Amino acid sequence: MRKILLYGVGEETLQAIKMTGQIWNIRVIRITDGQLADTLAGLFEAETDFSGTCDAFEDEYMLIQDMSREELIGLIRALKKQGVEFEGIKVMRTPSNENWKLEDLFRETAEEHQVVKKVRLLQQILQSCGTLDLSQYPDEGKELKQAVRNAYAFLQTGQFSLQETEEQIRVLMEILKNTGRLVH
C-alpha cells in the first residue's frame, strides 16, 4: 500500500497532504518523537496518527512507501497548486533502510541533506568564478585558478563529506575575498 509518514510538519501542511493523499489513494500518517526508536518497516505498519512532539529534529521529513519518483513529483506538484510546499527531507523506503531506527535514519539523511546543499553552493561559486577576468588579479588569479581546479576535481570524485565540501568552499571564498569579489 502506498503510504507516507510525516514528521515535523505543521498542522496545515499535514491536513493538505492528507487530503491530497486521499484523492491519490495514499495513506498519510503523522509520526512524532515517540517513534524515534522504531524501525522504518514497523512504522509503515501504523494505521493511525501518533500524538506527541516533534522536537528532536528541526527538519521536516516525508517517508515514502510504494511510490515511484514520478508519483512523488506529481504529488508535490499537486500540493504546490494548493499553495502547500514541502521543502523537507524526502526518504523512500528501501530494503537497505527499512530496518533502521527512525532516529538513525533522520540523522543520516539530515547529514546527507546538508552535504547536498553545500555541494550545490560550491557549484554556484564555481559557476560565478567563470565570469571573473583573472588578468585583473595577477597574484590571486593564479591561486584562484588552482582552487577552482581543485574544487572541480573534488566534484568529479562524486565522494563528498560535509567537512571536505565546506573546506573547498572556505578556500574559494577566502581567495575571492582577497580579490574583493565575494560571491553571494
Give residue 140's pLDDT.
67
**Does any domain span residue 68?**
yes
Residues 164 and 132 in one domain: yes
For 49-67, how does the pLDDT look when each residue is reduced to its tens digit (9 = 90+)?
999 999 999 999 999 999 9
Last residue of some domain: 74, 100, 126? Answer: 100
Give residue 52's pLDDT.
95
Name the residue range of residue 141's domain. Answer: 112-179
Residues 125 and 146 in one domain: yes
Give residue 130's pLDDT.
77
Residues 8 and 85 in one domain: yes
Q: Rounded to 5 degrees, what are φ and ψ at 61?
A: -130, 140
Short-list 27, 22, 39, 29, CA closest to 6: 29
Residues 44 and 93 in one domain: yes
**Does any domain span residue 154?**
yes
Q: Give CA–CA dist 178/142, Å, rounded.
A: 12
Per-residue pLDDT band at 184 (split at 50, 70, 90): very low
For 63-96, how does the pLDDT look when each residue is reduced to its tens digit (9 = 90+)?
999 999 999 999 999 999 989 989 899 999 999 9
